[in-house]
A and B are shown apart, each in its own frame.
Chain A
Amino acid sequence: MATVSIPTILRTHTGGEKTVAAAGGTVAELIDDLESRHSGIKARLVTDGALHRFVNIYVDDEDVRFAGGLDAPVKDNSTVTILPAVAGGMR
């Protein structure tokens, strides 16, 4: 199982846990497995079949946007980090 680091804002779905375990060969499968254990979390990560633009997911420190997106491979011992993007602007 991969180890998944959960940001503060999503810990309402994990009972306050900072890290949880999840399985999957790709980021998409991992998110489905997360959803089966922590209901509601998928909708916070994925919109219309694509990674939500406000969220960054890293597999072993690599941003999955540069590694195949939801198809990015996840290993059994991978460390997955979910972080909300920090961004904004005047408009």
Chain B
Amino acid sequence: MSPAGCESYRHRSPFVGSGPYPEGVLVIRADLVDEIVAHARRDHPDEACGVIAGPEGSDRPERFIPMLNAARSPTFYEFDSGDLLRLYKDMDARGEVPVVIYHSHTATEAYPSRTDISYASEPEAHYVVVSTREEDSNEFRSFRIVDGVVTEEQVEVVETYMFANTGADDVPDRSA
């Protein structure tokens, strides 16, 4: 079902999902994947982290928000608590939620660690983990983490959300 990661992240299909809220799949624009990977590469060997916000109820990642890793560590990441508050207030004001929460692993595979699982507290978010351990390839995988249970999901990279069946029909695609 799910792609094992990096090589497939460039796979692009404009026709994915079978309904307005496809389950078990992250549909994400290619330019946002590129932003996440570029951030992870830029901060390597420290872990990079951030959010892609999208309209509440849409499950559609739209606004790329790289965050500072307050831990500045190759083995740990943490949003600064003041940054976290500003981020959530800003998303609230815009009617957004964190559709994607991403971070990098710089020496291990792109799979949630015990620490990732214990901290994960957005049951509706897609947790993206990028591994930068290989210089010439990126592992890019997405997971749901609910009540400590990790479920990997498919990643469908698209050029535009126009045909991707993301979000409710009455939510305009702001990025189009």
Contact = CB atoms under 8 A, between A and B. Distances in A.
Contacts of B79: 85-87
- How many chain A residues sit at the interface, stated as a range, is 10 to 19
B121 A89 contact: no
A2 B112 CA distance: 37
B146 to A, nearest CB: 10
Contacts of A87: 71, 76-79, 115, 119
A9 B123 contact: yes
Interface in B58-110: 67, 71, 73-79, 81-82, 84-85, 88, 97, 101, 103, 105-108
Contact of B81 (A9, A65, A90): A65
A84 B105 contact: no
B77 to A, nearest CB: 6
A58 B116 CA distance: 23
A5 to B, nearest CB: 8
Contacts, number: 84
Contacts of B75: 89-91
Given A56-B84, A65-B81, A85-B81, A90 B113 contact: yes
B11 to A, nearest CB: 26
A54 B121 contact: yes
Classify the interface of chain B: helix, strand, loop or mixed: mixed
Contacts of B77: 87-89
A24 interface: no
A56 to B, nearest CB: 5
Contacts of A83: 84-85, 88
Given A9-B122, A54-B121, A86-B78, A91 B85 contact: no
Interface of B: 47, 49, 51, 67, 71, 73-79, 81-82, 84-85, 88, 97, 101, 103, 105-108, 112-116, 118-124
Given A8-B124, A88-B112, A89-B76, 11 more contacts: A86-B101, A87-B78, A88-B49, A88-B76, A88-B77, A88-B120, A89-B47, A89-B77, A89-B115, A90-B74, A90-B115
